[in-house]
Amino acid sequence: MNKNNHIKSYCHINEGIVSLNGKAVYENISPDFASFIKSAYHHFETDYSKFFKMDNLSKLAFMAAEVLLQEKSSPEQERNMAIVLSNRASSLDTDRKYQESIADENNFYPSPAVFVYTLPNICIGEISIRHKLHSENSFFIFDAFNADYIKEYSDSLLDTEKADEVLCGWVDFDEGRYEAFLYIVSHQGSHLHTKEEITRLYLT
């Protein structure tokens, strides 16, 4: 076990609630994700018009990162933060939308704006653009949140000095259901970076 790495902060988004370090910071029990995430965008006074062009998975990941990365880096100081995300449904929500747009050969108008989101790791790109991150990144698909795998991968990035911090976790969207659990791992923090602690925070 690497005792040098810690969890600095963590964010959950699901069932209409955004929480930071275990405390709810925004609630809106909207019947659908679109209304909820739009209200969260306004609540956190996010000023980023490209947000509205994103697919659901990217909006979810972007908003969780937005809550976690409130402290903006200065323009001169590049933040060496890697991103390691995972989920179960990949980009299936957007894949289905794209498939619908090409299913009828008599009404065949594939949308370029939908197509560009037919990969799950695009949400990492959106976060990277917003926070000017040029660092290592990976996206993994699992049946369920795999704390052990993400921990090992993040530790490796930190221990080999590929990154100073890692933004990692789970961001999943499928058929209207959504769940994000993102956390920052670094050399300092209030929680030990262990499989047990990650799992405990995930289930909090």
Closer of 122 and 171 to other proteins (Cβ)? 122
In the complex, the smallest distance separating the C-beta of residue 50 from other proteins, rounded to whole angstroms, is: 9
- In angstroms, give the least distance from the CB of 53 to other proteins: 5
The CB-of-167 to other proteins minimum distance in angstroms stands at 25
> What minimum distance in Å lies between the beta carbon of 93 and other proteins?
16
Note the Cα 131 to chain centre separation in Å.
13
Q: What CA dihedral angle connects 48, 157, 7 and 127, to 10 degrees?
A: 10
How far from 45 is each of 38, 63, 183, 195, 198, CA to CA, in Å? Answer: 11, 11, 21, 34, 29
Amino acid at 33: F
Kindly state the smallest distance separating residue 113's Cβ from other proteins, in Å: 5
Element (H, E) at 66: helix 56-68
When the beta carbons of 49 and 190 are compared against other proteins, the nearer one is: 49
Give the residue with the Cβ less far from other proteins, 53 or 187.
53
The rounded distance, in Å, linking the Cα atoms of 140 and 146 is 10
The binding site for other proteins (CB under 8 A) comprises 38, 49, 52-53, 109-113, 116
Distance of CA 152 to the CA centre of its chain: 18
Output 40 or 167, the one with its CB closest to other proteins. Answer: 40
Is 38 or 191 the residue whose CB approaches other proteins more closely? 38
Smaller CB distance to other proteins: residue 95 or 165?
95
The CB-side HSE value for 137 (13 A sphere, CA atoms) comes to 20
Least separation in angstroms between CB 52 and other proteins: 4
DSSP strand pairing (165-174 vs 81-87): parallel
